[in-house]
A and B are shown apart, each in its own frame.
Chain A
């Protein structure tokens, strides 16, 4: 138990800290591609996947970690991914995003998080289990994309790394513009850790390294997988409501660590405050959280489990689910944000603004 607690919290603290300081937001990455035509954060997510895929296949090649086979349940991956994508827009954050915003003191994220846990438990082990069983019953024989193609995993790892490298190079070659930053008040390490803006690509590299380190840390405690958010979020609620310590694994301490790490980062940078959104946002956060729990449970993972880890393993499940999470994000962004914006613009001036 001590190893689970120490290794899980350690990994979570590091991840939560980095996510908060780097403003690393996967739903924002998907959403902003269509909302503000900005794909910098999307490229950052690709970097994290590429880094992790190199590290994980290197560790597996050296026999240091064992890769688990993730079955391809195509109906669950497509439908679940899509519903999860709708959910994260409503909840205002993906799985890790919700955990780290809870650490920043956003009460809306606490509500989303609770609904996410509830949706997960209901789908995986509760009243919605029959629906989940029906949707995930259709399994394909193919697990890894490279075994279907009959090639070595390294072909895909290398191709993907080169592709991401090219995209990054093209992006960095664009003429840059100076974005004004806040006045500098700290020096040295304090400035670097608690004040400086982190470039999303640097953040992504660190997230990739943490995602690699998660594998041996988790496997040392007997859990044969890398980062995961949905199942442990559900297990935390199961532990709280039953008191049964069998639900406490490495990943439960990982998610607790994410909230704590984000709290430390936010507190240290003067960015922590309990904040309450308006009623409409709270409603969206709650239903978004339920959608997230249901969607991620039948898709076999969230933006981390599928979007970051299963993609880096080059499993069908990972890439198909991620594609449908992105689609869900775009559909929800269109209906909730873009159309709402048009409606507001055609009416009177927004009520929040006053001339001074």
Chain B
């Protein structure tokens, strides 16, 4: 199962706060796709994911000031 989180329009730290609660509902190995447009989250989201034992499957810029990141939930998280 994949879960899609739309946080376009949300400013930091809310994309990260939403990502934290969304990933809690996933089982290890499942993926969370996040669409976001807060510039500072390009730094904070991948950093948070890796720090908490998740894996960043893909990370790309989809448009001007718009990004998509896919995070696979780790065993520990």
Chain A residues at the B interface, C-beta cutoff of 8 Å: 20, 23, 25, 28, 31-32, 35-36, 38, 92, 101, 104-106, 108, 177-183, 197, 266, 270-273, 275-278, 281, 337, 341, 344-345, 349-350, 352-356
Contacts and interface: CB of A to CB of B under 8 A. Distances in A.
Interface string B24-54: 1100000001000101101110111011000
Given A197-B43, A278-B9, A341-B17, A178 B50 contact: yes
A273 B66 contact: yes
B67 to A, nearest CB: 8
The 5 closest A-B pairs by CB, nearest first: A273-B65, A180-B56, A356-B4, A92-B11, A273-B64
B14 to A, nearest CB: 8
Nearest to B4: A356
A289 to B, nearest CB: 14
B66 to A, nearest CB: 7
A353 B6 contact: yes
B12 to A, nearest CB: 7
Contacts of A31: 13
B60 A183 contact: yes
Contacts of B5: 350, 352-353
Contacts of B64: 270-273
Contacts of A92: 11-12
Contact of B40 (A23, A38, A272): A23
Nearest to A108: B11
Contacts of A177: 50-51
Given A353-B22, A355-B2, 17 more contacts: A23-B42, A28-B12, A32-B13, A32-B44, A181-B59, A271-B39, A273-B66, A281-B11, A337-B13, A341-B20, A341-B21, A344-B21, A345-B24, A350-B22, A353-B5, A353-B18, A356-B33
Given A32-B13, A108-B11, A352-B5, A180 B24 contact: no
B65 A270 contact: yes
B65 A271 contact: yes
B17 A337 contact: yes
Contacts of A349: 25
A91 to B, nearest CB: 10
Contacts of B6: 352-353
A105 B65 contact: yes
A308 to B, nearest CB: 19
A344 B61 CA distance: 29
Nearest to B12: A28
Contact of B13 (A28, A101, A266): A28
Contacts of B11: 92, 101, 106, 108, 277, 281
28 contacts: A23-B40, A28-B12, A28-B40, A35-B13, A101-B11, A108-B11, A179-B47, A180-B46, A181-B46, A182-B42, A266-B39, A271-B65, A272-B64, A273-B63, A273-B65, A275-B9, A278-B9, A281-B11, A337-B14, A341-B17, A341-B21, A345-B21, A350-B18, A350-B21, A353-B18, A354-B3, A355-B2, A356-B2
